[in-house]
Amino acid sequence: MRRLTCSMGVSLDGYIVGPDGGFAWSAPDEEVFRFATHEVRQLGVHLLGRRLYETMRYWETADQDPSLSDLEREFAALWRSLPKVVFSTTLAFVEDGYRLADGGLAAEVARWRAEPGEGDIAIGGAALAAEAAELGLVDEYGLRVHPVLVGGGTPFFPRADRRADLELVGSRTFSSGVVQLRYRVAR
């Protein structure tokens, strides 16, 4: 059965977006970008919230930029070919290469888990990931912890009413000081 994974950059004090709404501090260097590209290669589908969809639309036409590196071109090609589902209550349509979710998150995850094929189900976007966590749908968390304290903003883990025990399944330290941590939800 396909796993539902939630992988994002996070500040050392636990935020994915700072108090000003910015996240430039989480821009990956080449080594971290290569790792993120490898993660995308392992996916069968990506579920996105509206804001992440708006950010990631860049990659649909990024390869038209002649200044893009070969690695960025590879990422763009992987991203374009990946099935993507957007969850939004404000969008009436999404661009080609994306599908607007027509049901709830739990039903969409169940649908993708039942689909034949390879690759994990990734989920991104703070509110959508929080909903998945609250519903007990997340199987694994991947945190790319950046060596910065932003002092507030949108937390990676929103306050929850229930406890979730996690098991460390992997870690890696990058030369930039970013540390990748992978935790499986203990069930």
Tally of residues, the chain: 187
DSSP annotation of 26 = G
Give the global pTM.
0.92
- Give pLDDT, residue 19: 94
CB atoms closer than 10 angstroms to residue 153? 18
User: What is the pLDDT at residue 117?
Assistant: 85
Domains of the chain: 4-185 (3.40.430.10)
Question: Which residues on adjacent β-strands are paired with residue 166?
Answer: 185
Q: What's the average pLDDT block by block, 10 residues per block, for the chain (187 residues)?
A: 94 95 93 96 96 94 92 95 96 94 95 92 93 94 97 88 90 98 96
- Return the pLDDT at 52: 93
CA separation for the pair 28, 144 (Å, rounded) = 10
Q: Which amino acid is at 78?
A: L
